[in-house]
Amino acid sequence: MLSAILSEPGKIELRDVEIPEPQEGELLIKIKSALTCGTDLKAFIRGHPFIPTPGPFGHEFSGIVAGKGKGVSKFRMGDAIMSVHSAPCLACTYCRRKFFNLCEQSMASKVLGAYAEYIVIPKHVVQQNVYRKPAGLHFKEACFLEPLSCVVHGIESLDIHKKDTVFIIGAGPIGLLHLLYAKSKGARVIITGLEEDKLNIAKKLGADISCHPSKVHEHVSTITQGIGVDYVFECTGQPTIWETAVDFVRKGGTVILFGGCRTGTTVRYKTETLHYHEISLKGSFHFTPHDVKKAYSLLKNKKINVKKLISGTYPLEEISDVFVSLSKGNGLKYAIVP
């Protein structure tokens, strides 16, 4: 089978490798679609601590069961499935305290290699985070289960409702998923970004205001009568933006730091702003099985329409060109179809 290998930052190789054999509790999946991802793009541009090189590449996928290991009874051959690439071990210190997204083993045991013809899903993921794809959901849309689970994790713990105003910094795929989910809860949403085409997409997806960063203060002041928004979601992963995110939230408001910054970077905040304004700063990382279940329900029941986030479809053989194009700022997410 063909498999894309990220051999080093900036270089993807297509290699002919053996189709893996599923072991006990595992599923062999024939990939029908895989989506590009911001994490994959970071790995392509500069490397990523969670994506080793050289190594298999890609982790947002859907497909058809092509093989089963001993003991798998939940799924049948030919089932269309949608899955995420990890699951908690259920045994480590954090899992025992139900912090499943912080599992000490989940990153080490995650599944990579979705940009390929086949992939094996390990037993612990099969048991917790694999679902049958509904007939009415396209394989490309089903691939959103993983990124949407991450977005659900950051939002579900908050009590967002119709009277709230949400400000999203970054109009890339993750920012737009935040937009879709916040709008499904009835919130007013302001979103900002540097690229006009992405801001236009945000408007079509329901943003109340989509604007260049130079216009944000004006719009936030107007829509909130000067007090600031209830929630800020930082989706750029830039330390300077992490720092300025607190400038837009009201007293008692919450800033969710979703975008991951480069390893080793630091940020600084004015202590009086955090203390006297009682602002909550909250990191958001990964997802739990509950988040995956919620994301599955949102996609299955068409509560969130992700079609407009797919910028195009390409064969596996053109994956290098796709990532070069993404690195130049072109498009949102691309479907890679073997």
CATH number at residue 315: 3.90.180.10
Inter-CA distances, 207 with 223, 250, 294, Å: 13, 20, 23
User: Which 3 state secondary structure label does DSSP give 80?
Assistant: strand
Strands (E), 214-328: 229-234, 249-257, 280-283, 310-315
Residue 202, pLDDT above cutoff 90: yes
pLDDT, tens only, 281-304: 999 999 999 999 999 999 999 999
Would you list the DSSP string of 278-291? T-EEEE--S--HHH
Q: Return the pLDDT at 309.
A: 97
Contact indicator for 48, 58 with CB cutoff of 8 Å: no
Do 140 and 52 belong to one domain? yes
Q: Which helix (H) or strand (E) holds 28?
A: strand 27-35
Identify which of 141, 149, 204 has the alpha carbon closest to the alpha carbon of residue 174. 149
Q: Return the pLDDT at 281.
A: 97
291 in any annotated domain: no
Contact indicator for 235, 242 with CB cutoff of 8 Å: no
Mean pLDDT of 18-33: 97
Do 315 and 252 belong to one domain? no
Instruction: Assign residue 204 the CATH number of its domain.
Output: 3.40.50.720
Which residues, 6 or more positions from 39, have their beta carbon under 8 angstroms from its beta carbon? 48, 50, 51, 59, 260
Q: How many residues does the chain have?
A: 338
Give the tokens for residue 182: 């916040």
- H helices of 112-229, where? 123-129, 139-142, 145-156, 173-184, 196-204, 216-223
289 in any annotated domain: no
Do 237 and 312 belong to one domain? no
Q: Return the pLDDT at 279.
A: 97
Alpha-carbon span 235 to 232, nearest angstrom? 10
296 in any annotated domain: no
292 in any annotated domain: no
Percent of the chain whose predicted confidence (pLDDT) is above 70: 100
> Cα angle vertex 10, ends 6, 15, to 5°?
35
293 in any annotated domain: no
Do 163 and 140 belong to one domain? no
Do 134 and 163 belong to one domain? no
Q: Which helix (H) or strand (E) holds 245?
A: none
Do 100 and 40 belong to one domain? yes
Work out the pLDDT band at 49, boundaries 50, 70, 90. confident
Residue keyed to tokens 């396209």: 138
Do 169 and 247 belong to one domain? yes
39 in any annotated domain: yes
What's the number of domains the chain is made of?
2
Contact indicator for 192, 210 with CB cutoff of 8 Å: yes
Q: Which helix (H) or strand (E) holds 94?
A: helix 93-96
Work out the pLDDT band at 6, boundaries 50, 70, 90. very high
Question: What are the percentages of helix, strand and coil residues in the chain, rounded to 5?
Answer: 35, 25, 40
41 in any annotated domain: yes
Mean pLDDT of the chain: 96
Residue 4, pLDDT above cutoff 90: yes
Do 122 and 9 belong to one domain? yes
pTM (two decimals): 0.96
Note down the domain range covering 248.
151-283
Do 8 and 140 belong to one domain? yes
Looking at residue 170, what DSSP letter applies?
-
Do 111 and 166 belong to one domain? no
Alpha-carbon span 143 to 66, nearest angstrom? 18
Work out the pLDDT band at 50, boundaries 50, 70, 90. confident
Contact indicator for 238, 261 with CB cutoff of 8 Å: yes
Q: Return the pLDDT at 73.
A: 94
294 in any annotated domain: no
Contact indicator for 82, 63 with CB cutoff of 8 Å: no
Do 7 and 136 belong to one domain? yes
Do 259 and 327 belong to one domain? no
- Would you call the peptide bond into 54 cis, given omega within 30 degrees of 0 as the criterion? yes
CB atoms within 10 A of CB 302: 12
Alpha-carbon span 167 to 231, nearest angstrom? 6
Alpha-carbon span 254 to 283, nearest angstrom? 11
pLDDT, tens only, 215-268: 999 999 999 999 999 999 999 999 999 999 999 999 999 999 999 998 899 999
- For the chain, first and last CA: distance in Å? 10
Backbone φ, ψ for residue 140 (5° rounding): -65, -40
